[in-house]
Amino acid sequence: MTGRALIAGAGLGGLTAALCLRRAGWDVEVLERAPAIGEVGAGIQISPNAVKVLRALGLEEGLRAIAVEPAHFHGMDWKSGRRLYRTPIAPGFEERFGAGYFHVHRADLHALLADALPHNCIRTGVAVTAARTEGAEAVLETDSGPRRADVAIGADGIHSAVRASLFGPENPRFTGNIAFRFTVDPARLQHALPRDAMNLLGPAGHVVLYYLRGGALLNVVAVHETRSWEEESWSTPASREEVAAAFPGWAPLVQDLIAASEERFKWSLNDRDPLERWSAGRITLLGDAAHPMLPFLAQGAAMAIEDGIVLANCLAAAGRDEAEAALSRYEALRKPRTSRVQLGARARAASMHLRSPWARLRRNLGYAWGNLVARGRTKHAGEWIYAHDPVAEGKAPPTPPPGEGEAARGAA
């Protein structure tokens, strides 16, 4: 079927869904609360499973033009900076997983998606306040009146108003982790670094760094376990001293990065248990609104991007007046995978943040053994996620149980 769709939220998930739905012949309107569309000044990792969706949308060349494709990912000891393992990424990922692995500035990726949509498709400064199904229509209440369509999608992030309206208010869970994020001009560093991605694994925290914009910027995400809850916002500033105080005794490279940082922000890391339902009537959820997760497998946006194409495929495969069934089918197809990734990201904190020196020694010996056997080709933690190709998922209409099709045809 085709029709008209409303999307709450012009984040990476909402914009991808809009592009996928338009490709399937839908008329789409995206409602964004912020007065102007845009993303924060930080980096994001885009793994092969998500790149396949961008390729299907004709955006792979555009992605390559704005992204850095690292050759390796290095795991390093938090204190000595010694390399524990090395995972080759390019050129091998393309062959093994069907697409490359990229690092990109969020604002650049957001602009790539937004520019592929007609300008009149996105309405900024419109906040969605509630959602309901009325007969054959999905209705989004907004601060400037109700909007109606055949289906509506809540892509409005972890604090989704659409989710709260459908299933009741419920706060996400503070996971005990705070992420400090900042970018650094590599020319200001005392350390010479390979043009690769790095992850220093420490007690009660880790520090990930990778290059953006042709190597002109280093993106740093420094995660630190704490008991105190902080307000969740990408724009809460953090002082250099606050970051340094969270990483005492860490390798000179980490101190160098903190000293060279210009503007630092902090973000409390929240997630949810997998939701029981995402859809009600003609309305469904997508991205962080449906399955917020810890960033420890770097998959939150990738899952939102996958959601968009599967949702569009399910709607395209549905017959007239089957919108509700299509949304239920989308949810049934997506939930097992996103739940597994959500829980996998939670579990990964345990091996990345080991407090006991003995546990770290045992883990590091495992890496050393792996290096010996695999000759420096340690597997990437997310490899089980990358081979998946969501591009055709949901395209085929569901096959009716045996006999049912015959009966239906007979009745008609």
Task: Return residues touching ligand FAD (CB under 6 A).
Answer: 8-14, 31-34, 44-45, 127-128, 155-157, 161, 179, 181, 221, 267, 287-289, 295, 298-302, 304
User: Is 101 one of the annotated active-site residues of the chain?
Assistant: no
- DSSP helix, strand, coil percent of the chain (3-state; round to 5): 40, 25, 35
* Under 8 Å between Cβ of 37 and 113: no
Q: Which two tokens stand for residue 237?
A: 């500033």
Nearer of residues 41 and 318 to ligand FAD, judged by Cβ: 41
Q: Which phi and psi angles does 394 have, rounded to 5°?
A: 90, -5
Please state, in angstroms and rounded to a whole number, the distance separating the CA atoms of residues 70 and 103: 8
From 210, 211, 330, 386, active-site residue: 210
What is the full DSSP assignment across 372-412? HHHTS-PPPTTHHHHT---TTTT-SPPPPPTTHHHHHHHH-
Closest CA to 28 of 1, 10, 6, 12: 6
Min dist CB 3 to ligand FAD, Å, is: 21
How far is the C-alpha of 242 from the C-alpha of 262, rounded, in Å? 13
Distance of closest approach, residue 401 Cβ to ligand FAD, in angstroms: 34
Nearer to ligand FAD, 8 or 238 (CB): 8
**What is the nearest approach in angstroms of ligand FAD to the Cβ of residue 377?**
22
User: What minimum distance in Å lies between the beta carbon of 154 and ligand FAD?
Assistant: 9
> What is the smallest separation between the CB atom of 10 and ligand FAD, expressed in angstroms?
5
CA-wise closest residue to 79 among 215, 324, 297, 255: 255
Instruction: Give the three-state DSSP class for 269.
Output: strand
* Residue 244, Ramachandran bin (φ over 0: left; ψ between -120 and 50: alpha; else beta): alpha
| DSSP 8-state class, residue 220 | E
The residue (of 144 and 190) whose beta carbon lies closer to ligand FAD is 144
Q: Which is nearer to ligand FAD, 53 or 251 (CB)?
A: 53
Shortest CB 128 distance to ligand FAD, Å: 4
Cβ neighbours, 10 Å, residue 36: 7
Per DSSP, the residues of 126-149 read --EEEEEEETTEEEEEETTEEEEE
- Residue whose CB is less far from ligand FAD, 253 or 302: 302
**Closer of 79 and 123 to ligand FAD (Cβ):** 123
- The catalytic residue positions are 210
